C-alpha cells in the first residue's frame, strides 16, 4: 500500500480523554474514531489489525476442533426469560422493543441462543461432543466506558460453547479451550497467565480468566513467577486423537501454581504456597475467560439428549470468550514505547515500512519501487511512504504506527549502494544492499508459528 493513497488520519495532539497508552496511540495513529461513549468506528489501520487478531483466534479454534457459525446480534427476550437471566442481567443489557411490541435485546453473550439451536437439532449422545463458536459484535451498556476499546460498550468477541454427555467429557472440552487460548495469545506475542476466576453471572464451578501483565491493567494479579516463563503448549497438541489425560496434564501443570486476581486472592494461601522469591504481584488485563457450568442452561431450557443408558440427560455445557477488539488495545499496552506502538509480526497491519527520504529523486524512487514490488510479490505487505514530507515527519509517523521493520532509502546511502533497516522493537539498525534488505525482511515472515 502506498501511503499517499491510504486513509491514515493521524493526530498531532493526544485527546485529553485518553488516559492509557493504547487509547492514546489508537487515536493518534488513526486506528479508531469515537462516536459516543464506548462506541467507535474502526478506521483502516485499526480494522486491519483487528482482522489479523480475529484470524489467529479462528485458526486456533478450528485447530482445537471447534466449528464456526454465526448468530445474530439481536436476540429475543423470550430465551433469556426462559433461562431466568433476563431480569438478573441488569442495566448492562440493552433492551429493545420492535414495532410489533416484541421484546428484544442486543446480545451481550449467546448461551441462551446456542442452547436453543442445540435443543432443536441434537437428540442423541452419539452426536456429542459439540463445540461451536462465532465471532460477533456484542453490546454491554457499561456504567463507565473508558480506556478506549479496553472497556467499550460495543465490542467484537469470539464466544464458543461446548455440549457434552457428562461432566467428565465437559472437562475435556474445557481443557481443549484452555490449551487453545494459551496458543492463541502466544501467537500474538503475548504471555497470558490463566487465573482461577469467579464464574459471575455466567454460572458454574470451573472458570479461568487469561490475563496479560500490564501496568494499566484493571486487575491486581498475584501468581507464581514460573507461570510467566512457562511456554505455550504448542501447535503439535493433538486435540482430535490425543489422550485426554495428556490434555489434563498440560492444564494441571499450569493450574497447580498459584494464580489469582484480587477478587479471588487469599494472602495466606499465596504466602504458604509460593516461595518469597517466586511471589509476583502485578497488574493485568483480561483478554479471555472460560467457564464450565454443567446443566445451568440446558436444564432451564430443556436441552436433553438420549444417553447410552437409554435415558435422557441434560447436556453439560461450557462457554469460552475472547475479546477480539479488546486485544488490539491489550497488545498495545503490552508492546509500546514513548514513540508509539510496537506491533508483533503476527498482527502488524503492514509487514514493513519503506521510507523514501527524497521523493522525486530518480534513484530513490526507482529503488523504493523495486523494493516495494518485490516485497509485495513475496507476500510481506509493505507500506510505502511516498509522501513529500520531511524526514523527521516520516520517521515519527512510522514509529507511531509501529510496524516491526523500516527500510530507509535516501540519496546518501544509495551513493554507496545501501539502504538502512531499522528494527522497531530493539532500535537496531543495519546497512544492507537493497537486495539483501528484501531478503532479510522476507525471511522474517517466512515462519510465523510458535
Residue 50 sits in the same domain as residue 120: yes
Q: Are residues 271 and 397 in the same domain?
A: no
400: domain CATH number?
A: 3.40.50.800
pLDDT at 168 over 80: yes
| Same domain for 421 and 385 | yes
pLDDT beyond 60 at 201: no
Residue where one domain finishes, among candidates 301, 320, 341: 341
Q: Are residues 318 and 410 in the same domain?
A: no
**Could you say which DSSP state residue 85 is in?**
-
The residues, ordered by sequence, that sit 6+ positions from 447 with a Cβ below 8 Å of its Cβ are none
Same structural domain for residues 110 and 64? Answer: yes
Residues 320 and 371 in one domain: no
In a domain, 169, yes or no: yes
Residue 332 domain-assigned?
yes
Domain-embedded: residue 89: yes
Element of type H or E holding 149: none
How distant is the alpha carbon of residue 268 from its chain centre?
A: 33
Q: Over the stretch 209-259, which tens digit does the pLDDT of each residue have?
A: 999 998 888 889 999 999 999 999 999 999 999 899 999 999 999 999 999
Domain of 408, in residue numbers: 352-444
Residue at 450 is within a domain: no
11 shares a domain with 149: yes
Q: What's the angle, vertex CA 28, arms to CA 23 and CA 32, rounded to 5?
A: 65
Q: What is the CATH number of the domain that holds 22?
A: 3.30.930.10
Chosen domain end from 318, 341, 364: 341
* Residue 307 falls inside a structural domain: yes
Is 449 a member of any domain? no
- 103 and 144 in a common domain: yes
| 12 occurs within a structural domain | yes
Assess whether pLDDT exceeds 50 at residue 347: yes
User: Full-prediction pTM beyond 0.85?
Assistant: yes
Q: Quick check: is 145 in a domain? A: yes
- Per-residue pLDDT, 305: 97
Q: Closest Cα to residue 304, out of 165, 445, 108, 450?
A: 165
d(CA 151, CA 148): 6
Domain stop point among 309, 341, 373: 341
Is the confidence at residue 407, as pLDDT, over 50? yes
Q: What percent of the chain has pLDDT over 70?
A: 98
Phi-psi region of 300 (alpha: psi -120 to 50; beta: other; left: phi over 0): alpha
Residues 430 and 317 reside in one and the same domain: no
Looking at the structure, do residues 196 and 226 belong to the same domain, yes or no? Answer: yes
Both 263 and 244 in one domain: the answer is yes
Q: What is the pLDDT of residues 285-333, one digit of tens each?
A: 999 999 999 999 999 999 999 999 999 999 999 999 999 999 999 999 9
The tally of domains found in the chain comes to: 2
Count the neighbouring beta carbons within 10 Å of the beta carbon of residue 298: 23
| Chain length of the chain | 450
In terms of domains, do 368 and 314 share one? no
Amino acid at each position: 500500500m502506498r501511503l499517499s493513497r491510504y486513509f491514515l488520519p493521524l493526530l498531532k495532539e493526544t485527546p485529553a480523554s485518553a488516559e492509557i497508552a493504547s487509547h492514546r496511540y489508537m487515536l493518534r495513529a488513526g486506528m479508531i474514531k469515537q462516536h459516543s461513549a464506548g462506541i467507535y468506528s474502526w478506521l483502516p489501520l485499526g480494522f486491519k489489525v483487528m482482522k489479523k487478531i480475529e484470524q489467529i483466534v479462528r485458526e486456533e479454534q478450528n485447530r482445537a476442533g471447534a466449528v464456526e457459525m454465526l448468530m445474530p446480534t439481536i436476540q429475543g427476550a423470550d430465551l433469556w426469560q426462559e433461562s431466568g437471566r433476563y431480569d438478573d442481567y441488569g442495566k448492562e443489557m440493552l433492551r429493545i422493543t420492535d414495532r410489533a411490541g416484541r421484546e428484544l435485546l442486543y446480545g451481550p453473550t449467546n448461551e441462551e441462543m446456542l442452547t436453543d439451536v442445540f435443543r432443536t437439532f441434537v437428540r442423541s449422545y452419539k452426536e456429542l461432543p459439540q463445540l461451536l463458536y462465532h465471532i460477533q459484535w456484542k453490546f454491554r451498556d457499561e456504567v463507565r466506558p473508558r480506556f478506549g476499546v479496553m472497556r467499550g460498550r460495543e465490542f467484537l468477541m469470539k464466544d464458543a460453547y461446548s455440549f457434552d454427555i457428562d461432566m467428565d467429557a465437559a472437562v475435556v472440552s474445557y481443557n481443549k479451550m484452555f490449551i487453545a487460548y494459551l496458543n492463541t495469545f502466544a501467537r500474538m506475542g503475548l504471555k497470558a497467565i490463566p487465573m482461577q476466576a469467579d464464574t459471575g453471572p455466567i454460572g458454574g464451578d470451573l472458570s479461568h480468566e487469561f490475563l496479560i501483565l500490564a501496568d494499566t491493567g484493571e486487575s491486581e494479579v498475584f501468581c507464581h513467577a514460573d507461570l510467566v516463563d512457562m511456554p505455550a503448549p504448542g501447535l503439535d497438541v493433538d486435540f482430535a486423537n490425543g489422550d485426554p489425560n495428556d490434555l489434563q496434564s498440560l492444564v494441571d501443570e499450569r493450574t497447580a501454581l498459584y494464580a489469582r486476581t484480587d477478587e479471588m486472592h487469599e494472602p495466606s494461601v499465596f504466602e504458604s504456597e509460593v516461595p518469597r522469591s517466586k511471589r509476583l504481584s502485578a497488574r493485568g488485563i483480561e483478554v479471555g475467560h472460560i467457564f464450565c457450568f454443567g446443566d445451568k442452561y440446558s436444564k432451564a431450557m430443556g436441552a436433553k439428549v438420549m444417553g447410552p443408558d437409554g435415558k435422557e440427560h441434560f447436556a453439560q455445557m461450557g462457554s469460552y470468550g475472547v475479546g477480539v477488539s479488546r486485544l488490539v488495545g491489550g497488545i498495545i499496552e503490552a508492546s509500546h514505547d514513548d514513540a508509539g506502538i510496537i506491533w508483533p509480526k503476527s498482527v502488524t497491519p503492514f509487514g514493513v515500512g519503506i521510507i523514501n527520504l527524497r521523493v522525486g529523486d530518480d534513484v530513490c524512487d526507482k529503488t523504493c519501487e523495486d523494493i516495494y514490488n518485490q516485497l509485495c510479490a513475496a507476500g510481506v505487505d509493505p507500506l510505502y511512504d511516498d509522501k513529500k514530507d520531511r524526514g523527521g515527519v516520516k520517521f515519527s509517523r512510522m514509529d507511531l504506527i509501529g510496524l516491526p521493520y523500516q527500510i530507509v532509502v535516501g540519496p546518501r546511502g544509495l551513493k554507496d549502494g545501501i539502504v538502512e533497516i531499522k528494527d522497531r522493537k530493539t532500535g537496531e539498525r543495519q546497512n544492507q544492499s537493497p537486495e539483501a534488505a528484501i531478503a532479510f525482511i522476507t525471511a522474517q515472515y517466512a515462519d510465523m508459528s510458535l
